[in-house]
Homo-oligomer: A and B are copies of this chain.
Amino acid sequence: MKDKQTHLIDTAINLFARDGVSVSTARIASEAGVSNGTLFNYFPTKQQLIDSVYLSIKEDIARNVLPSLGQDMSVKEVMFGIWRGYIQWALANPLHHEVSILLKAAMVLSAATLERADAIFELKVAKLRKGVEQHQLVDLPVDYICELSTAQLSVAVAFLQRFKLDSVDASKHIHCSFDVFWNGINA
């Protein structure tokens, strides 16, 4: 049997995706096959459970996206690596993707958690910064381009999920949506 803490997080992700963050801790515990007392042994408050869920998802994304990237790659290569890696991860883990967006948008995450989550993807920020400094990208704040990429990635994923394309068309859309993004920010 999987680590109980991990199993509770997985169960919470499933229920958050189905019913939103408002699901009761009792239901999460029951669905996970433990008593609600046990849930509170692992997560002292519901807030800490929510934060743990978010960080767990972000770390999972990092594990699946960052390894394919290198310091020696160009900005465009890094961004495309993130693009393809994230979309593939999101299609393989639709609920995780959905919950990650949900928690961020619903403003239920502690400030510390948001900060920790950002720190995971420092490489991306660094590459974009260099791209702007070297005038390869439009002269906009790096934060802005970051948010832009996240927003456009979400739209691309939502589209791919809605119309279940075969893998050829999916790959085509990954390139196509990336081109839309890249043409937008290319200097």
Contact = CB atoms under 8 A, between A and B. Distances in A.
Interface of A: 20, 22, 101-102, 105-108, 138, 140-141, 143-144, 147-148, 151-152, 154-155, 158-159, 163, 176, 179-181, 183-186
24 contacts: A20-B106, A20-B108, A102-B105, A102-B107, A105-B105, A105-B106, A138-B176, A138-B179, A138-B180, A140-B180, A141-B159, A141-B163, A143-B159, A144-B159, A147-B155, A148-B155, A151-B154, A152-B152, A180-B184, A180-B185, A181-B184, A183-B183, A183-B184, A183-B186
Nearest to A149: B155
Contacts of A151: 151-152, 154-155
Given A20-B107, A183-B184, A147 B138 contact: no
A124 to B, nearest CB: 16
B152 A148 contact: yes
Nearest to A182: B184
A50 to B, nearest CB: 13
A186 B176 CA distance: 12
Contacts of A106: 20, 102, 105-106
